[in-house]
């Protein structure tokens, strides 16, 4: 039983960090607590035509902004989280203890590090605040627009040294590069594709959405108790999508251990999620497609995926094809090993920090 408990916990840690889908249970003990704040955007207009009188954007920051003689911020770093996650995912030891400490690549005594909770996530405005399914149908363009407004109006940041995004944040990075091409010095998208979400990637998302909507307890979003069956379907799909096959085969080496770990993960996932928040977060990718404008990205880009990523499998060849259209772009595929973590390799910075160093060095002014 002791071996099972250890395997179950390890598999759980791997998956919840993969998609940012559960609250982190462990944070770096080597950093001071970040400063927390909220920015209110008044009469925020969504691409759907809907308006929210007050859109709250929660954020955390480390460090202080530095400016050049012209008043431009020179040391701001924007970290963008994954679907149903929060900025807190970057406080996990495998990220924060590798990158944010003294002398490390994103040392918080040198850089002004910004960790927003994006629309629909964390402590920012989201459906579960009250509107449920009457909340505006936000998409990735809306999320990036809100990030930009938070920086400029909420934090007085007019330039970024780096945008680093994981999973959903990876996709946001491409939108940033096309929408605000002069706003940053460099981009590091991790764990996504710069094309429309289709094929298996769309299918697993659709299964999550349909599973929630088809639950009789959903009631068109006007539920009084969470649609449990729909959330269980979502949990299983996130477990599969975020899993690392090699690691899971080693840690869950028997049927009994696998079934028990799945039951434990589903229980935790269901307890941690609101159905409307999750449905909106997954559905926000519905019109994502940066591929028509990749040539407009002018800053250096190092784009990283991992070979054991269920969501972005390397055999599709999409990343290698599309990166050729990015003027200063480079693609890196992390091979499968005992150090890779499937889709969640994006948060294990030791695996790819050498490429971040190359990007920071090559984009210095």
Which strands sit side by side in the sheet containing 329-334, from one edge to the other?
A: 35-45, 51-62, 112-116, 76-80, 162-166, 187-190, 301-306, 329-334
Nearest to 37 by CA among 116, 107, 91: 116
CA–CA separation, 36 and 155 (whole Å): 12
Per the DSSP assignment, residues forming a β-bridge with 190 are 166, 304
Pick among 3.40.190.10, 3.40.50.720, 3.40.50.300, 3.40.50.1820: CATH of 13-200+283-362: 3.40.50.1820
CA–CA separation, 237 and 256 (whole Å): 20
Domain ranges of the chain: 13-200+283-362
CA–CA separation, 188 and 197 (whole Å): 20
Each residue's pLDDT expressed in tens, for the chain with a length of 365 residues:
334 344 444 444 444 444 555 544 466 667 999 999 999 999 999 999 999 999 999 999 999 999 999 999 999 999 999 999 999 999 999 999 999 999 999 999 999 999 999 999 999 999 999 999 999 999 999 999 999 999 999 999 999 999 999 999 999 999 999 999 999 999 999 999 999 999 999 999 999 999 999 999 999 999 999 999 999 999 999 999 999 999 999 999 999 999 999 999 999 999 999 999 999 999 999 999 999 999 999 999 999 999 999 999 999 999 999 999 999 999 999 999 999 999 999 999 999 999 999 999 999 97
pTM of the model: 0.93
Q: Which two tokens stand for residue 214?
A: 């088809």
For the stretch 1-37, pLDDT in tens is: 334 344 444 444 444 444 555 544 466 667 999 999 9
Q: From the CA atom positions of the chain, what is the Rg in Å?
A: 20
Q: Quick check: 344 and 167 in contact, CB under 8 A?
A: no
């Amino acid at each position: 039983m002791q071996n099972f408990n250890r395997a179950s916990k390890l598999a759980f840690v791997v998956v919840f960090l993969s998609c940012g889908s559960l609250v982190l249970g462990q944070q770096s003990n080597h950093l001071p607590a970040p400063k927390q704040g909220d920015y209110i955007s008044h009469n925020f207009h969504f691409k759907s035509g809907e308006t929210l009188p007050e859109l709250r954007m929660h954020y955390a920051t480390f460090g202080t902004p530095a400016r050049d003689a012209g008043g431009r911020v020179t040391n701001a770093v924007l970290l963008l989280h994954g679907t149903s996650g929060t900025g807190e995912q970057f406080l996990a030891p495998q990220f924060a203890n590798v990158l944010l400490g003294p002398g490390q690549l994103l040392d918080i005594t040198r850089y002004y590090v910004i960790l927003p909770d994006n629309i629909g996530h964390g402590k920012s405005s989201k459906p579960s605040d009250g509107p449920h399914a009457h909340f505006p149908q936000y998409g990735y363009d809306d999320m990036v627009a809100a990030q930009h407004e938070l920086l400029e109006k909420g934090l007085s940041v007019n330039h970024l040294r780096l945008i680093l995004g994981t999973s959903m944040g990876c996709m946001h990075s491409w939108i940033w590069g096309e929408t605000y091409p002069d706003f940053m010095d460099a981009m590091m998208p991790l764990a996504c594709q710069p094309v429309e979400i289709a094929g298996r990637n769309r299918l697993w998302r659709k299964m999550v959405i349909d599973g929630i909507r088809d639950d009789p307890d959903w009631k068109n979003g006007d539920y009084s108790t969470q649609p449990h069956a729909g959330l269980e379907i979502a949990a299983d799909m996130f477990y599969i999508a975020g899993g690392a096959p090699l690691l899971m085969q080693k840690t869950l080496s028997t049927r009994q251990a696998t079934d028990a770990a799945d039951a434990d993960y589903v229980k935790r996932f269901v307890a941690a999620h609101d159905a409307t928040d999750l449905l909106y977060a997954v559905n926000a990718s519905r019109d994502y497609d940066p591929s028509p404008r990749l040539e407009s990205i002018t800053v250096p880009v190092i784009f990283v995926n991992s070979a054991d990523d269920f969501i972005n499998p390397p055999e599709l060849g999409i990343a290698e094809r599309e990166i050729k259209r990015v003027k200063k772009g480079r693609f890196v595929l992390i091979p499968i090993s005992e150090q890779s973590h499937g889709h969640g390799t994006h948060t294990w910075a030791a695996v790819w920090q050498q490429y971040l160093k190359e990007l920071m060095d090559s984009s210095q002014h």
